[in-house]
């Protein structure tokens, strides 16, 4: 996580921090904003289609705060700064369910901690850091271990009784493991998997898809339907905990776990106990880096003073506890306008609908396009050009459209019509699978396929550019990659703009690629659901093309990163390109991986590789910046040659980061997470030592790994 997320804001990102927001110029503008915020909050707490996405609501709220700070006489009792929500209910809470204050960068977090220290007149004893679940807050009452009532947060003082929906909620048992009387507070939410299931259920029953997991959870908790949508619960507080378990927040959460209730500590996000604000900042960054890997949505991190004595001494303001704060992440779900729907044809003939969007910042990144998955899904969701759509992006996930705002659809918006014929070649379309494909397959994209085969990341054929390929294809000299190796100097010299010297150089350049390793050949073939990294992994696992072609589905699933679904696609792809592979082999193209890189199992030779753990598993390494003597891809290949697993993103699962000249945000993130760093010069020395068999030097270099 960058130190200051707001520093990366662009025109596409609303200002959500009140400290930087612009106040309204008139009282009427302020009142209009309050009314808009109240309406949006009512829809939000009711779990309906959102009137505003999170970022736009936060920006609206920030301007209201700024206006009330500038003009305190404008503030009214119905301001969103004065109330939690707008929807109350029949259940009175045992104590108010207050909101929590927000900060938006590490500077704000440190300012909050310093203020808390001043309030206590001493440093906070310790902190906890846990995920801020993007769900619906509820209070759950147990009497002698039996669940008796569930109430929504409502307006903070009274809530709605939703006890009848308890059967839907995983992590919230009907009976506790002990006959205690207790009130547990937490969030009802929807996991990513359950959100997808819920949307499918909605579509199957003729209803529009959910806007996002949060509104899906809130709406489903209240709804009485003929079908059940799965929900989950995670506890973050409790009242009535025995004194021996109530001395700290972390102890309360641990106790709830022993009662059988799902808690933040048991989740994939975990609960961190930190000694000081430096550890807090590192824990926040670590959780932010893993945001897209959790399997459920979080919109920030909650930081609390852990000890109950610290909390009691700090107390509450009129609206929120002083001993807790929420560090808000950039919104990973936004709304924007769908400008048009394009149809793209990939090099393997796969035909895909792609949404072109009004630029919007989602999760800290400006998004201008998003996946629409496939035509069947697009028609079921009925997303149209002109719609206001929800864009979701968690972590490094490709942006996707999760649905449209029905009430915002223009009157003249027309349903999308899928193509009748391949947009590239005009041929028939194979609609037998969810992902449509040109019936000509790879032949449809022969030029794109050839360009990929000859690219630097694949076979790296120098001198064979776009125009020469066009001429060769037009003249009928080539139809696939194997035909390149049959080209001779007279044929090429006779072509426009190619003399004998250039033709000779090109023939030699093509011939030189025959000795490229198998991993490069696999990359050049462009097998669907693989790429450079996975191609290297496959080549190293099997060693030869013959072994690859003979492998069974079960053997494919032994390759790191390949499951049954991917194995099925890869096997089908290999069967399709088998004739091309045979032609390449007949022309003398190498079909083996260098012996030092071949590995079919966690053998003793494999475990002795520098970047292998004793159990044979690879270390995860990120290379950022330049490594002396290596290109970017060669740097990644070197990681795998050394036995490691190359990754393009830094996270808490990264073992260490290689940092060279020109390193950027990845080096910064490594520093934030406190990951070990290896200088690029040392990494180059490590590679040389490994290749020369100098095991003493490799060991010495790896012992120099130091935290950022």
Q: Which residues are catalytic?
A: 132
With beta carbons less than 8 A apart as the criterion, state whether 153 and 193 touch: no
Q: How far is CA 513 from CA 462, 584, 620, 658, 706, in A?
A: 10, 11, 30, 29, 39
With beta carbons less than 8 A apart as the criterion, state whether 593 and 544 touch: yes
**Strands 706-707 and 676-679, sheet pairing:** antiparallel
Angle between helices 192-204 and 213-222 (to 10 degrees): 60
Which H or E run includes 566?
Answer: helix 564-586
Spatial separation of the C-alpha atoms in residues 550 and 542, rounded to whole Å: 10
CA nearest neighbour of 373 among 575, 553, 203, 562:
203
Return the residue matching tokens 């579509």: 203
* 485 annotated to a ligand binding site: no
Spatial separation of the C-alpha atoms in residues 369 and 338, rounded to whole Å: 9
* 682 annotated to a ligand binding site: no
Return the residue matching tokens 């271990």: 145
Spatial separation of the C-alpha atoms in residues 286 and 325, rounded to whole Å: 17
* 153 annotated to a ligand binding site: yes
Angle between helices 54-70 and 27-46 (to 10 degrees): 140
* 467 annotated to a ligand binding site: no
Strands (E), 378-502: 388-392, 400-404, 429-430, 437-438
* 248 annotated to a ligand binding site: no
Spatial separation of the C-alpha atoms in residues 195 and 199, rounded to whole Å: 6
* 199 annotated to a ligand binding site: no
| Sign of the alpha-carbon dihedral angle for 251, 254, 258, 259 | positive
- Token representation of residue 679: 């200088």
CA nearest neighbour of 593 among 527, 529, 528, 520:
520
DSSP assignment of 600-631, as one string? SS--HHHHTSTTB-TTSPBPEEEEESBBTTB-
* 274 annotated to a ligand binding site: no
Spatial separation of the C-alpha atoms in residues 413 and 636, rounded to whole Å: 47
With beta carbons less than 8 A apart as the criterion, state whether 367 and 360 touch: yes
- Please, which residues have CB within 8 angstroms of residue 424's CB and are 6 or more apart in sequence? 345, 438, 444, 445
* 183 annotated to a ligand binding site: no
Q: Give me the helices (H) in 343-465, please.
A: 375-381, 446-454
Spatial separation of the C-alpha atoms in residues 670 and 649, rounded to whole Å: 10
* Cβ burial 567-587 (10 Å sphere, 16+ → b, else e): bebbbebbeebeebbebbeeb
Return the residue matching tokens 């004739």: 579
With beta carbons less than 8 A apart as the criterion, state whether 213 and 232 touch: no
* 645 annotated to a ligand binding site: no
* 653 annotated to a ligand binding site: no
Q: How far is CA 551 from CA 59, 348, 538, 698, in A?
A: 55, 22, 11, 34
Return the residue matching tokens 């053997």: 555
* 107 annotated to a ligand binding site: no
* 304 annotated to a ligand binding site: yes
Which H or E run includes 70?
Answer: helix 54-70
Annotated binding-site positions: 54-58, 99-100, 130, 153, 187, 304, 328, 422, 425, 444
Annotated binding-site positions for NAD(+): 54-58, 99-100, 130, 153, 187, 304, 328
Annotated binding-site positions for Zn(2+): 422, 425, 444
């Amino acid at each position: 996580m960058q130190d200051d997320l707001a520093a990366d804001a662009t025109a596409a990102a609303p200002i959500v921090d009140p400290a930087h927001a612009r106040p309204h110029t008139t009282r009427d503008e302020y009142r209009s904003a309050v009314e808009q915020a109240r309406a949006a909050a009512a829809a939000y707490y009711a779990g309906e289609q959102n009137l505003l996405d999170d970022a736009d609501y936060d920006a609206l709220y920030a301007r209201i705060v700024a206006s009330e700070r500038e003009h305190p006489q404008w503030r009214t009792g119905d301001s969103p700064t004065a109330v939690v929500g707008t929807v109350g209910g029949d259940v009175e809470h045992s104590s108010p369910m207050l909101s929590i204050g927000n900060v938006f960068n590490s500077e704000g977090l440190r300012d909050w901690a310093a203020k808390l220290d001043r309030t206590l007149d001493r440093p906070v004893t310790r902190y906890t850091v846990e995920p801020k679940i993007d769900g619906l807050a509820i209070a759950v009452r147990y009497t002698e271990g039996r669940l008796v009532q569930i109430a929504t947060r409502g307006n903070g003082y009274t809530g709605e009784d939703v006890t009848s929906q308890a059967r839907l909620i995983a992590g919230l048992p009907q009976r506790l493991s002990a006959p205690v009387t207790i009130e547990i507070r937490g969030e009802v939410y929807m996991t990513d998997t359950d959100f997808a299931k819920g949307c499918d259920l909605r579509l199957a029953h003729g209803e529009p898809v959910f806007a996002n997991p949060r509104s899906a959870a809130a709406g489903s908790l209240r709804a009485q339907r003929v079908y059940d949508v799965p929900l989950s619960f995670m506890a973050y507080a409790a009242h009535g905990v025995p004194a021996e378990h109530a001395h700290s927040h972390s102890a309360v959460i641990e106790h709830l776990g022993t009662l059988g209730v799902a808690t933040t500590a048991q989740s994939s996000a975990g609960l961190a106990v930190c000694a000081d604000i430096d550890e807090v900042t590192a824990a926040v960054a670590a959780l932010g880096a893993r945001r897209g890997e959790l399997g459920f949505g979080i919109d920030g991190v909650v930081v609390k003073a852990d000890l109950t004595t610290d909390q009691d001494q700090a107390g509450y303001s009129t609206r929120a506890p002083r001993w807790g704060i929420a560090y808000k992440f950039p919104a990973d779900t936004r709304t924007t306008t769908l400008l048009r729907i394009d149809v793209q044809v990939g090099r393997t003939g796969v035909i895909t609908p792609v949404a072109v969007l009004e630029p919007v910042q989602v999760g800290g990144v400006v998004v201008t396009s998003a996946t629409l998955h496939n035509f069947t899904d697009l028609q079921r969701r009925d997303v149209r050009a002109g719609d206001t759509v929800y864009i979701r992006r968690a972590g490094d996930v490709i942006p996707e459209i999760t649905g449209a705002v029905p009430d915002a659809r223009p009157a003249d918006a027309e349903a999308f019509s899928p193509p009748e014929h391949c947009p590239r070649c005009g041929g028939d379309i194979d609609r037998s699978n969810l992902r449509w494909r040109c019936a000509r397959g790879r032949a449809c994209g022969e030029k794109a396929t050839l360009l990929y085969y000859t690219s630097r990341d694949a076979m790296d054929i120098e001198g064979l550019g776009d125009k020469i390929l066009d001429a060769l294809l037009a003249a009928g000299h080539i139809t696939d990659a194997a035909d390149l190796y049959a080209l001779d100097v007279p044929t090429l010299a006779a072509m426009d703009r190619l003399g004998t010297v250039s033709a000779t150089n090109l023939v030699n350049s093509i011939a030189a690629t025959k000795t490229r390793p198998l991993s490069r050949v696999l990359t050049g073939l462009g097998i669907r659901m693989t790429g450079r990294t996975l191609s290297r992994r496959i080549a190293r696992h099997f060693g030869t093309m013959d072994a690859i072609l003979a492998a069974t589905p079960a053997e494919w699933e032994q390759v790191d990163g390949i499951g049954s679904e991917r194995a099925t696609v890869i096997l089908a792809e290999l069967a399709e390109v088998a004739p091309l592979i045979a032609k390449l082999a007949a022309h003398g193209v190498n079909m083996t991986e260098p012996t030092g890189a071949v590995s079919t199992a966690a053998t003793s030779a494999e475990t002795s590789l520098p970047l292998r753990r004793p159990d044979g598993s690879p270390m995860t390494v990120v290379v950022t910046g330049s490594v002396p003597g290596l290109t970017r891809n060669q740097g990644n290949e070197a990681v795998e040659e050394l036995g490691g697993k190359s990754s393009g993103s830094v996270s808490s699962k990264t073992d260490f980061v290689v940092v060279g000249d020109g390193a950027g945000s990845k080096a910064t993130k490594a520093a934030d997470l406190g990951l070990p760093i290896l200088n690029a010069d040392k990494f180059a020395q490590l590679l040389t030592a490994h290749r020369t068999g100098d095991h003493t030097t490799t060991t010495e270099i790896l012992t120099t790994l130091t935290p950022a």
